[in-house]
Chain A
Amino acid sequence: MARIIVVTSGKGGVGKTTTSAAFAMGLAERGLKTVVIDFDVGLRNLDLIMGCERRVVYDFVNVISGDANVGQALIKDKRNPNLYVLPASQTRDKEALSVEGVGRVLEQLAEEFEFIVCDSPAGIEKGATLAMYYADDAIVVTNPEVSSVRDSDRMIGILSSKSRRAEQRLEGIREYLLVTRYSPERVERGEMLALEDVQEILSLELIGVIPESSAVLNSSNAGVPVILDRESSAGIAYGDMVSRYLGDDLPHRFLKVEKKGLLGRLFGG
């Protein structure tokens, strides 16, 4: 039986799709058969971040409306045979999604895959609530910045009341906090919320801190999940996050300003 994970935030532009791509690729790299689904109907970008935008034939809405079956819509990743992408429709809108339709597709996917990653759109409307409805786990992506924190808090409240698990009074969704775009230098200068402040306001288990990194933009331009950029701090941090999700208790890195030694300052880098 597959584990369904929603990557959500409330606020837009904080790193949900970047995280969905990296996380799904990370699971696949560990030999776990994974599918990542784009729930942002009409504003799809998962296909761009995954580098498969030129191979989209059928999409999630086609499958829900019966125009195609799941097998026809799934796109196999060229880098890892364990990873598949189910893209969103670009021409339709979120009214095309329904709770029953999404449920049916997830049930089918659960037979084949071990992990189903749902990349949620921003907001708290239908696309976002459907992406979270069937989730077993939730990764709440938050920038260390006041409006992102408040929106994440709102989203956490909704997760505990509008999910299938909440409605059927089952064990609640396991919620994890992922702080993205963290810059210890800015925290030190007092320009950015410190990790402790974000944790205090949101009171959630911290699954990772992804540092601000130019590698994220470079990777998305190249259509490569950033976790594959092994030299970048963001790639490494996503790797740690996947390990923690799977049970490894790793310490968090990239939280402190790195003091450059004399050679480091002379030669930059």
Chain B
Amino acid sequence: MLPTLVLRGLDIAALDEFLVSQVARSPAFFDQAPVAIDLSSLPTREQLDDFPMVVGMLRGHGMIPVGVRGASEEQKAQALALELAVMPAARKPAAAGRAGAPAAGPAPRTLVIDKPVRSGQHVYAEAGDLVLLRGVSSGAEVMAEGHIHAYGALRGRAMAGVSGNGEARIFCRELGAELVSIAGRYRVSEKFESRYLGRAVQISLSGEGLEFELL
């Protein structure tokens, strides 16, 4: 599950205090962690004056804000201006008595990108898998609800299963990514075993964490 900060109010000082105590409890968990920001519990649907400060604050505490959930149209525009993804609202657990009814979601659809993804660009396959026919540059970010298939050199950040799909995998022909993550479990390139660098690799999530396998 992508760690999510649910904002209930915009008291910046209180938020900062809260973050300090959370991070202090498990600093390794939050260090360089991709996080989503859930805006659906805020009292207002208007543009948030302090939103850039909130994003900056999360970064200051070592986290990496990647997207927003439950945003209104104005808030979505703010998020996009800050180069954050707009993600679908988190799925609510099925109510008692309807246990077993599948949650309705968007029909799965694969997003195919046939141009290089340049540094600073951001691609998000919100309805399923992502197929990248050309390279992903260092400094670019690619995200998918499902799998990521990278046929060009994968050099930026790749995050699969972003809403919590632990079955998602990352397939690449040339591993050079700065960070990979599946359902929120991530690893930075410094921690990749050298035998996988530059090779065709499959990355999946098992009980123990991320698993790398040569293809």
Task: Show the binding face of A for B, using Cβ within 8 Å.
Answer: 150-151, 153-154, 156-158, 160-161, 200-201, 203
Expressed in whole angstroms, the Cα–Cα distance for A158 and B119 within the complex equals: 9
* Minimal beta-carbon separation of A233 from chain B (angstroms): 30
Pick from B119, B120, B134, B138: contact of A203, CB under 8 Å: B134
State which residues 151-197 of B face A: CB under 8 Å. Answer: 153
* Minimal beta-carbon separation of B124 from chain A (angstroms): 15
* Residues of the B chain whose Cβ atoms lie less than 8 Å from the Cβ of A161: 121
A10 to B, closest residue via Cβ: B119
CB-based contact B139/A203 at 8 Å: no
Pick from A151, A157, A203: contact of B121, CB under 8 Å: A157
Pick from A150, A158, A160: contact of B138, CB under 8 Å: A150
* Residues of the A chain whose Cβ atoms lie less than 8 Å from the Cβ of B120: 154, 157-158
Task: Show the binding face of B for A, using Cβ within 8 Å.
Answer: 115-116, 118-121, 134-135, 137-140, 153
A151 to B, closest residue via Cβ: B119
CB-based contact B119/A153 at 8 Å: yes
* Residues of the B chain whose Cβ atoms lie less than 8 Å from the Cβ of A156: 118
A-B contact pairs, 26 of them (CB 8 A): A150-B119, A150-B137, A150-B138, A150-B139, A151-B119, A153-B118, A153-B119, A153-B137, A153-B138, A153-B139, A154-B118, A154-B119, A154-B120, A154-B139, A156-B118, A157-B120, A157-B121, A157-B137, A157-B140, A158-B120, A160-B115, A200-B153, A201-B135, A201-B137, A203-B134, A203-B135
Interface centre among B116, B119, B139 (most CB of A within 10 A): B119
* Minimal beta-carbon separation of B83 from chain A (angstroms): 11
Expressed in whole angstroms, the Cα–Cα distance for A116 and B118 within the complex equals: 27
A-B pairs with lowest CB-CB distance, top 10:
A157-B118, A153-B119, A154-B119, A154-B120, A157-B121, A153-B137, A153-B118, A156-B118, A203-B116, A157-B120
* Residues of the B chain whose Cβ atoms lie less than 8 Å from the Cβ of A201: 135, 137
Expressed in whole angstroms, the Cα–Cα distance for A95 and B135 within the complex equals: 36
* Residues of the A chain whose Cβ atoms lie less than 8 Å from the Cβ of B116: 203
Pick from A157, A160, A200: contact of B119, CB under 8 Å: A157
* Minimal beta-carbon separation of B153 from chain A (angstroms): 8
* Minimal beta-carbon separation of B54 from chain A (angstroms): 24
Expressed in whole angstroms, the Cα–Cα distance for A160 and B121 within the complex equals: 10
Interface centre among A153, A160, A161, A203 (most CB of B within 10 A): A153
Known: A150-B119, A157-B140. 10 other contacts (CB 8 A): A150-B137, A153-B137, A154-B120, A154-B139, A156-B118, A157-B119, A157-B120, A157-B137, A158-B120, A203-B134
Expressed in whole angstroms, the Cα–Cα distance for A190 and B116 within the complex equals: 27
* Residues of the B chain whose Cβ atoms lie less than 8 Å from the Cβ of A150: 119, 137-139
Expressed in whole angstroms, the Cα–Cα distance for A201 and B155 within the complex equals: 10
* Minimal beta-carbon separation of A138 from chain B (angstroms): 13
* Residues of the A chain whose Cβ atoms lie less than 8 Å from the Cβ of B139: 150, 153-154
* Residues of the B chain whose Cβ atoms lie less than 8 Å from the Cβ of A160: 115, 118
* Residues of the A chain whose Cβ atoms lie less than 8 Å from the Cβ of B119: 150-151, 153-154, 157
Expressed in whole angstroms, the Cα–Cα distance for A153 and B134 within the complex equals: 14
Expressed in whole angstroms, the Cα–Cα distance for A200 and B118 within the complex equals: 13
A161 to B, closest residue via Cβ: B121
* Residues of the A chain whose Cβ atoms lie less than 8 Å from the Cβ of B115: 160
